[in-house]
Structure 1
């Protein structure tokens, strides 16, 4: 009768429907010397859980870190600062047009820009006439 009960409990165990008391019954059965031959394959599983329950962590856990990180962070910050100082290149002061070109060159450039603006305005006037032409043409084409 007990063997039949153990077999049913193993089936329930692998279906994950056993209670804690039923699992304790399985652990007790597999801790004995006399186990049915067809159930011996399950013995290491339940014996492992029994042994694992007895294991304890005995090492001491340090509450303070052993390495002083603040010291290494300050060394790294100084290294980055020195690296930046070594490769620092100051930017030159901005150059004005008067420093770069003579007054005559500036005046000739202004004259050229004025001529360009005048010709550009003439081109835009032609576009205005073209726009008027397009509007009147569309009136005749869309008339029914």
Structure 2
């Protein structure tokens, strides 16, 4: 009866379905001196696990200290300095003449010229888009053709029956 139970536990063990208590029972069984011949392979397996479970590692591991890299923080500082100089020198201009006009009449004339130029360019662009109306007309004509095709398909399907 015990042998039958052990064989069932081995089958469960091989399928990965045993509990910890069942595995302890298998270890106890195979730690005995007498084991049937067909289970000898399992004896060496479970005794190996028992021995390795009690084994500990006592050797000291030498840990190498990583060399200090003083240049790591130095590169971060240098990058920050370069960025700050870039922002400072990039925004600094010698003559900050933004084209300000002090005479109101002259300023009005300049704005009028600029708006007229923008209006002319906008009208040129709008005139080139006029062909889209023709495309829309052609698309609506295609819709009529699709309706005619659907009607002819209905007629021909009824005639075939």
Shorter chain as normaliser: what TM range?
A: 0.3 to 0.5
TM-score (norm 2): 0.44
Greater relative contact order structure (CA < 8 Å, 6+ sep):
1
